[in-house]
Amino acid sequence: MHYEQKTTRKIEFSETDMAGLVHFSNYFRYMESAERDFFETAGLNLIQTEAGPLRGWPRTRAECKFSAPLHFGDTIEIHLAVVAVKDRSIEFRFRIFRLDNEGNRTQAGKGHLTTIYAERLPSGELRSIELPPEIREKICPAPAEVLARPKGL
């Protein structure tokens, strides 16, 4: 069962503002990139476009708290952990760390994302649907030690 994902990437120049800091909206993009990697690693489609209705994961809640600035060229690690798997939704917790050359981590942000499994009706409306067995068989909540605050932070 899959319950966490760690994604590492470098901060691009286009992600920074006039002060040289990462613009706050990019933290949500980082969380989404870790979510994409999570689904890919679990062998699941983030968006199902095969025969039948379009199915995907619209957000019902997204939040992020910032604790240290990120700059162009920084290497970051985004840690995703599954908090809960419900009948129609999944709740994720994220921590974003800046990595230095010695491998030390500084927490730069933390966030939560709640997403529902939904299909698009012919009318264009979205309708939440129950998680199918193939998703429930591959995704589970993270153990308490994964969800615990990292030591030293």
The band of 153, judged by pLDDT with boundaries at 50, 70 and 90, is low
What pLDDT band is residue 152 in, cutting at 50, 70 and 90?
Answer: low
- Look at residue 151 and tell me if it is in a domain: no
Strand pairing class (118-120; 89-99): unpaired
Structure tokens given for 58? 């619209």
Distance CA 11, CA 21 (A): 10
**Among residues of the chain, what percentage have pLDDT more than 90?**
82
Instruction: Determine phi and psi for 54, rounding to 5 degrees.
Output: -65, 130
Question: Is 104 inside a domain boundary?
Answer: yes
Q: Which residues pair with 97 in a beta bridge?
A: 77, 107
Does residue 153 lie in a domain region?
A: no
Provide the CA 109 distance to its chain's centre, in angstroms.
13
Q: Which domain holds residue 16?
A: 4-146
Backbone conformation region of residue 129, classed left if phi is above 0, alpha if psi is from -120 to 50, else beta: beta
- Given a cut of 80, whether residue 72 has pLDDT beyond it is yes
- Determine the pLDDT at residue 49: 74
Flag whether 103 is in a domain: yes
Given a cut of 70, is residue 4 above it in pLDDT? yes
0.85 surpassed by pTM: yes
Cα–Cα distance measured from residue 18 to residue 45, given in angstroms and rounded to the nearest whole number: 37
The answer to the question of residue 152 being in a domain is no
pLDDT at residue 69, rounded to an integer = 95
Name the residue with tokens 């990019």.
26
- Indicate which CATH number applies to the domain containing 40: 3.10.129.10
| Domain membership flag for residue 47 | yes
From CA 134, how far away is CA 80, in angstroms rounded?
20
Distance CA 105, CA 150 (A): 10
Question: Above 80 in pLDDT, residue 151?
Answer: no
User: 110-145: per-residue pLDDT in tens?
Assistant: 999 999 999 999 898 999 999 999 999 999 999 999
Q: Is 120 inside any structural domain?
A: yes
Q: What is the pLDDT of residue 80?
A: 97
**Per-residue CA distances from 62 to 8, 13, 48, 72, 78 (Å):** 21, 25, 22, 24, 16
Indicate the number of domains in the chain.
1
